[in-house]
Amino acid sequence: MSQMPPSTPPVVSTIAAIREIVVRAKAAGRRVGLVPTMGALHAGHLSLVEASRRECGLTVVTIFVNPTQFGPHEDFAKYPRTLEADLEKLAGMGVEAVFAPTSQQMYPEGFSTYVDPPEVARPWEGVARPGHFRGVTTVVLKLFNAAPADAAYFGHKDYQQSAVIRRMVEDFNVPIEIRVMPTVREPDGLAMSSRNVYLSLDERRRALSLFQSLKLAEQLVGQGERDAALIRRRMCQTLEAGGVDSIDYATIVDPENLAELNRIEGPAIALIAARAGKTRLIDNLLLTASEEA
């Protein structure tokens, strides 16, 4: 007997429709999990869906390539849009609905209110991508209002983004729990990203130096090195030797406020943004300085 393939989740495109699904589920006592994405789904996104399925009674995925978070010279036009393939990947995962609005639905004629992002949005990505977090916070707040879930799931790979969203939710008293889930990596360590599809084979090989550089930072801290400037230099050397084409930053920061550290006395985040070819990649790793090292 042939088995039916699992069916793809229903797609809704209006704010009214997704809100009704969420509000009804909550009224029925179900915890609702929201997984905001820009599509081009990979194993990292699917791990967020799995986390939501574990922790919530109903899971909604959003797919929207948000124009306001891309700079004028960034990849908005060429960003992969793969709705059919995304739905296939979600088939059988227990997703109640996919919210895939049009730009017109999210930013209708006359739209003119934006979130002024918190302090933690200023350094790093804030410098390299002016306006990016204004677009991210604005769309995320809109998604939280459209689909007023109990919890929302984000990836650790976009570390600064999750810090910015956590702060916004706290500052604006948004009643939603922010869950940040571990980065999913390819077997060789490359962090999963929708932008990895841009990489040629050679760029893909060179992009690995981001992970190598983060692992070096981890190893140095594990050996007792506490001088963050020295570790930063070694991270940059590893990136350069690995053949990245440019480095926006390779740094060690405080996990809460993302301020650059001089010494590593407790938890710290090694944070990198670099280009392989024209593709800009970001990655990070939590470093823990153990007492005895």
- Interface with ligand PAF by CB under 6 A: which residues? 36-38, 66, 69, 136, 139-140, 158, 161
Least Cβ distance, residue 35 to ligand PAF (angstroms):
9
When the beta carbons of 161 and 251 are compared against ligand PAF, the nearer one is 161
Least Cβ distance, residue 221 to ligand PAF (angstroms):
27
CB 213 within 8 A of CB 251: no
- Which has the closest alpha carbon to 176: 9, 22, 28, 38? 22
In angstroms, the CA 65 to CA 40 distance is: 10
266 three-state secondary structure: coil
Least Cβ distance, residue 67 to ligand PAF (angstroms):
10
- Which has the closest alpha carbon to 38: 83, 89, 97? 83
**45 belongs to the catalytic site:** yes
When the beta carbons of 115 and 252 are compared against ligand PAF, the nearer one is 115
Contacts for 132 with CB less than 8 Å, ≥ 6 apart: 69, 70, 71, 125, 126
User: Per the residue annotation, which of 42, 45, 73, 132 is the catalytic one?
Assistant: 45
Least Cβ distance, residue 66 to ligand PAF (angstroms):
4
* Strands across the sheet containing 151-155: 11-12, 97-99, 58-63, 32-37, 151-155, 177-181
- Which has the closest alpha carbon to 15: 141, 143, 174, 152? 143
When the beta carbons of 140 and 269 are compared against ligand PAF, the nearer one is 140
When the beta carbons of 66 and 238 are compared against ligand PAF, the nearer one is 66
Contacts for 121 with CB less than 8 Å, ≥ 6 apart: 133, 137, 160, 164
When the beta carbons of 139 and 244 are compared against ligand PAF, the nearer one is 139
Least Cβ distance, residue 75 to ligand PAF (angstroms):
13
Residues classed as catalytic:
45
